[in-house]
Amino acid sequence: MPLLYSSTFLLYRPPSTAPTTNRHFPPQRPATCPSSSLRRRFASARKPLLPPLPLRSAGVFRHPNLQCSSSSSSSVSMSAEEEPTSTSQRGEQLQSGFLYSRAFWVSESIIAWNVDVGNGSCYLFASKTAALSCSSDGILGEDIKVKLEEDKHGLPENVKENFPHIKDYRAFNVPPDLDAKPLLKCQLAVATFDANGRCSDATGLQLPGILDELFSYNGPLGALYSEESVSLYLWAPTAQEVCVCIYKEPLGGGNPQEVVQLEEVNGVWSTKGPKSWEGCYYVYEVSVYHPSTLKIEKCYANDPYARGLSSDGRRTLLVNLDSDDIKPEGWDKLAYEKPDIISFSDISIYELHIRDFSCHCSANDQTVHSEFRGGYLAFTLQDSAGAFHLKKLSNAGITHVHLLPAFQFAGVDDEKENWKNVDFKILEKFAPDSDEQQALITAIQNDDGYNWGYNPVLWGVPKGSYASNANGTYRAIEFRKMVQALNRYGLRVVLDAVYNHLSESGPFSVNSVLDKIVPGYYLRRNTDGFIENSTCVNNTASEHFMVERLIVDDLLHWAVDYKVDGFRFDLMGHIMRRTMVKAKDALCSLTKERDGVDGSSIYMYGEGWDFGEVANNGRGINASQSNLRGTGIGSFNDRIRDAILGGSPFGHPLQQGFVTGLLLQPNGHDHGPESVAKHMLAESKDHIQVGMAANLRDFVLTDYEGKEVKGAEVLTYGGTPVAYTLSPTETINYVSAHDNETLFDIVALKGIPFFHAGDELLRSKSLDRDSYNSGDWFNRLDFTYSSNNWGVGLPPKEKNEHSWPLMKPRLADPSFKPQKSHILAALENFSNLLRIRYSSPLFRLRTANAIQERVRFHNTGPSLVPGVIVMSIEDGHEGVPGLSQLDPMSVTSTDEIVKRSTYDASSGCFTVPPRTTSVFVEPRRV
């Protein structure tokens, strides 16, 4: 099974039962193309332009003489007893209904709405100028009004399947001869009227269903380049007008050198410009109705398929990534140089933040030139301490480096001269348990150069702050050089993909893009019409066709244009399973000969947490842990993490687990009576054993009660199955990651400090549980191995203040701080772990059958010795018919504690030191 190591050790993410909802974002932040080689495969047929409004309609009745009244059908409606004292008040109440979008135009012929019309009637209204209003005269300002008839059969099954959250809504039929396409460019509303003709309810509409039915599109998007011209394509079916503003310069507020109006064909706007546009910048001007303002807005937005940006991220760069000028030497042949991956079961992943690796703020490390610090080019320095460290890990067995987000994200200015900094010499003067460091860091945290990057603006462009110059083509060239350098270290590159949400929304926010192009489509909305924010802010809706297409196109772009070797999906459970499978199939279809990429070697994995509006398949079958079995897509195994460490990242910080002293070395935390702690330890052992057997649903083992059970029959503390996979490549076993405390820090909280095993550098963030915006000071990595960054002050108040009383005495205690010898020993132990993993294919079995046949757990049942896991992996020999011999291995260790492990053949007893993993090999003749 793949293993994931962070630049701390084996990885973390929130469990399915308690996800974070505000991670990575400062509270004051506003919530608001296919690759060039693949684009050539698209072809679009020119169709006649749509006729302009005024609109043709069927069953149209204009300006009814209707009175606003009341109903109990929605939260903005009123019962007869609550009826306002004046018709104007009634109109104001109903007018507020336009702020909501509680009805759904789910197909060309059906509108779904949770309203009981009774003996009354229902109408659809459209206004090209967004002039709809409700007064004593009824609904006013419409260009057309169409009567809708309720379908007593309800919503058809395909609609219920596509929109499970509204499956119980009533269905209203749209007249079959109504030309719906031009109406979708208008302000739309539906309203009900009682038998006396008085308006009783009104609301706006959500349009993704009908947009997908009428405007799903597989042709070219973004900028396409030929020898003579540059063509632009934008999918914007609800826009009334689209222009492109061409600029020569990346910055400045001057007038564009050219403004060109695009032409529309069936929802796609396009234009062809001269070859001289290449190297220029552009912005789209989109005139479109926006449901958040109830107005036709003139929105200025980057291209959703942007492949380059200006340094402020406000203009899209016309950059042809196929140009030889943007390719490092040997780039086109890189696919043939990449380190071999025979099976995904052989993968070991090392998670790393670009700035953590390359900033090198330690005074002990001057091996990175100042102009390369914090950026892509630091990876190209062959003689830096960081490069030496990565090569060491590669030689030991690490196969992939997972880079935290490297696309264009909000929260860090691309212009380095705008950053604010704190002098580290000042911070170093404060006590290890002082609150002074965090106060100074927090004061500038939104204006410095540090952020994890989980607040996407544009997915398809490398982040400008990591480039030596964010303007022009530097970021593209330097990102490619980084990938090339890592590949030549023997490491493949995984990109952190954050498709579950966007940084901003609305028609005016500077970092809003998709919500300006097709408002209300790209972002998932609740049944009132407001944007879902369960992932953080601005959840995206991959269940919509063109959102899914954008995600798949973006993955292909990174794979082909940047030769990325894998993708880790942030909050993958908020993406539909169908999208993930479609993406996997598309990537697997890439070939070295045609695309310069071996798509079969690209690995996909992510966070399969099941929560929020998508929980229990609330928006369709999502890419949660349990839904991904059989796909070959990996998901993080929080079960083994929590069993090893104890509790969860959201429980009490002193809750102990299997390796942090539960029962056997109590830390003073109240775990209940000894019998309860013993039961918890035994359950944790079962959870870990299931994880060690690849988290396979059908793996059979003996549990702590002595029962023979399958992995899926072992339950978590919440009652859900521990095991959820059908193959070993579908689980990522880990214990810590960028989120929450490092492994060293969590052990320092839960148990006595020790230096025998843990993070490969015993990395600390001074107990910071969420360092996404804590700056370089708390996130420092020292590749000279002189310090692990423990005791650099109390971590920032926002996420940690409640635990400061626990932290202060530990940070102040010098015995907790490791010396260089401890760090070097931990690194050697980490390397030994990798060497053991790669010493035999028995540790990397590739199929569920092989694991079931060869893996056994001992010391099980009611008589087990607490706190001890005994696992055997059977190689073939003459005593086991039908089981082939995979490897006659031998294992050695440089760790003196491990060497104390012994086996007495006469008694059959093993002796292993505490908190130690030892591998014993029984030599056999074939």
pLDDT tens, residue by residue, 434-444: 999 999 999 99
Identify the pLDDT of residue 611. 97
Q: What is the pLDDT of residues 289-317, one digit of tens each?
A: 999 999 999 999 999 999 999 998 999 99
Q: What confidence score (pLDDT) does residue 893 get?
A: 74
- pLDDT of 15 higher than 80: no
HSE of 411, CA atoms in CB hemisphere, 13 A: 28
- Residue 514 pLDDT greater than 60, yes or no: yes
Residue linked to tokens 């042709």 = 219
Q: How far is CA 14 from the centre of its chain?
A: 12
Which residues are tagged catalytic? 570, 607
C-alpha–C-alpha distance, residues 547 and 549, integer Å = 5
3-state SS record for 141-199: CCCEEEEEEEECCCCCHHHHHHCHHHCCCEEEECCCCCCHHHHCCCEEEEEEECCCCEE
Beta-carbon count within 10 A of 80 CB = 9
Q: Is the pTM of this model over 0.85?
A: yes
β-pair partners for 260: 244
What local confidence, expressed as pLDDT, does residue 24 receive?
Answer: 36
What share of the chain has pLDDT > 70, as a percent? Answer: 87
Across-strand partners of 170? 113
Among 41-45, 215-219, 483-487, name the one with the lowest average pLDDT: 41-45
List of E strands, 488-644: 492-497, 566-569, 603-606, 634-637
Confidence class for position 871, pLDDT limits 50, 70, 90: very high
Residue-range domains of the chain with CATH: 87-210 (2.60.40.1130), 215-326 (2.60.40.10), 346-636 (3.20.20.80), 845-921 (2.60.40)
Q: Which two tokens stand for residue 428?
A: 């170093």
> Would you state the pLDDT for residue 80?
37
The whole-angstrom separation of Cα 644 and Cα 684 is 7
Q: How many Å apart are CA 846 and CA 444, to the nearest integer? A: 49
pLDDT tens, position by position, 759-815: 788 999 999 999 999 999 999 989 999 999 999 999 999 999 999 999 999 999 999
